[in-house]
Amino acid sequence: MDWQAVAEPLQWLVLAYFAGLNLMFIALNLLALRVIGDDGPTRLLAGLPAFSAGLEPGISVVVPAYNEAATIAASVRSMLQLDHPDFEVVVVNDGSKDDTLEVLKAEFDLQPFPEAYRIAVPVQPVRGIWRSTLHPTLRVVDKAHGGRADALNAGINAARHGLFCAVDADSVLQRDSLKRVARPFMEDARVIACSGTVRIANGCTVSQGFVAEVDVPRNGLARVQVVESLRAVLFGRLGWSPLNALLIGFGAFGLFRRTTVIDAGGYRSSTIGEDMELVARLHRLHRLAGTPYRIVGLPDPICWTEAPETLAALKTQRVRGQHGLMASLWANRALLGHRKGGAVGWLAFPAVLVFEGLGPAIELAGYVVMALLFATGQISGPAFLAFLLLVVGLGLMLSASALLLEALSFRLYPKKRHLAQLLGAMLIENLGYRQLETWWRFVGLARWATGRPARSGAMPRRGVGTPGSRP
């Protein structure tokens, strides 16, 4: 076999993949910069008293809780202090085995509340509904265990408002996040979902239920994830929003039109990554039906959450995330290339499929193929070095551009010390971390492809919602 004839096409294929991946992120960063610039005046006005005219739509904050006894009271207190004229908090105790329900009863003086529970979306049996005598806007739904998706569906059934916000019990919202994330629904009746931004809380100081001081994580692994999230999650996600092609990235903080989600069948309990699957399904159903709609991503409604600080916890998260991503794409594959697919079906779906879904396999194959070609003399040393420089160099450039955009726009990390720490994390991210994460994501891809379930595992947490915490 003429290996030289095979080597050259393989080299170009691998180089084209990595070049295409980085060019995509460059384009998304440019689009994100435009979104941030266009949204700047509105962000400034949002802080003025006149912005809140009392016309904001009512919101039901749905909080699924499973074995959250240690932090649930602090989290709920934080959510009850959110700045929004009309909202309620619906905590769903998903059959916790610890004292989650007892803690809620004691802290908020819960009493049985006889109300008609409408089953708009089928869920596991509901054992009771409780209402706080201290906070009339707080209710607790106690149900048999069914998983996060089932708990969210139970909260949707109990919700009284037209919009609902799904927030994990271990997350902390910025005080004005509800008001900001509701803005697109007031501006455009076609909006059916809006995503805020998830930021990493490790290193931050939490006081009275809110992040009082932002700092770079002291844990090196969490610090790298700050850079990673800026590039891939924040600015990558904002780039798809103006195209109405935001396919992934809702995660821990999203606001949805309740009737739209009910009509779509609610969250799917059978799918890992129920948030991703729901958004992909909403795109598919509306696109194929020809129904006008918009799904929006905003940069400034912030939700703070704790990032893994151990390799074991991070591996579990990334394996499950990759498994969930592929399951979501597969369940909504009819959107790919459909004549009514628009930008999401013709641009976002194939890009996410190739670069995010199949990307780990392609990247690993690229490393292996190029190393073998070099070892067998099929390519020269300079050519192999050029490949490594392309992969690492473009990655560094993208990470640096994300840090620059952060410094120009939000300035959450304004100190020189912050910049130095994040620059160091940027180097680690591209020289070792990315390759390790690619392997974990490949494991998740392989588990999905072979029909093996993704392993579950609770992430050790220090409790970002507890007063004075600094995870």
Encode pLDDT of 442-456 as tens digits: 999 999 999 888 766
What whole-number distance in Å separates Cα of residue 459 and Cα of residue 441? 18
| 267 is a domain residue | yes
What whole-number distance in Å separates Cα of residue 297 and Cα of residue 271? 23
Q: Is residue 345 very low, low, confident or very high in pLDDT (cuts 50, 70, 90)?
A: very high
> What type of residue is 149?
A
| 52 is a domain residue | no
| 74 is a domain residue | no
- Predicted confidence (pLDDT) per residue in 311-322, tens digit: 999 999 999 999
Q: Is residue 462 very low, low, confident or very high in pLDDT (cuts 50, 70, 90)?
A: low
Supply the pLDDT for residue 324: 92
Q: Return phi, psi of residue 226, to 5°.
A: -65, -50
Overall domain count for the chain:
1
Domain residues for the domain of 303 are: 1-45+190-471
What whole-number distance in Å separates Cα of residue 37 and Cα of residue 404? 14
Residue 93: its H or E element = strand 87-94
| 195 is a domain residue | yes
Q: Is residue 385 very low, low, confident or very high in pLDDT (cuts 50, 70, 90)?
A: confident
pTM of the model: 0.89
- Predicted confidence (pLDDT) per residue in 106-145, tens digit: 999 999 988 888 899 999 999 999 999 999 999 999 999 9
Q: Is residue 251 very low, low, confident or very high in pLDDT (cuts 50, 70, 90)?
A: low
| 390 is a domain residue | yes
Supply the pLDDT for residue 146: 94
Angle between helices 381-409 and 3-46 (to 10 degrees): 10
H helix intervals, 254-380:
258-263, 274-289, 311-331, 342-343, 349-351, 359-375
Q: Return phi, psi of residue 196, to 5°.
A: -85, -165
- Predicted confidence (pLDDT) per residue in 43-89, tens digit: 555 554 544 456 789 999 999 999 999 889 988 998 999 999 999 99
Supply the pLDDT for residue 64: 94
| 266 is a domain residue | yes
| 145 is a domain residue | no
Of 405, 436, 430, residue with least CA distance to 197:
405
What whole-number distance in Å separates Cα of residue 161 and Cα of residue 261? 13
| 221 is a domain residue | yes
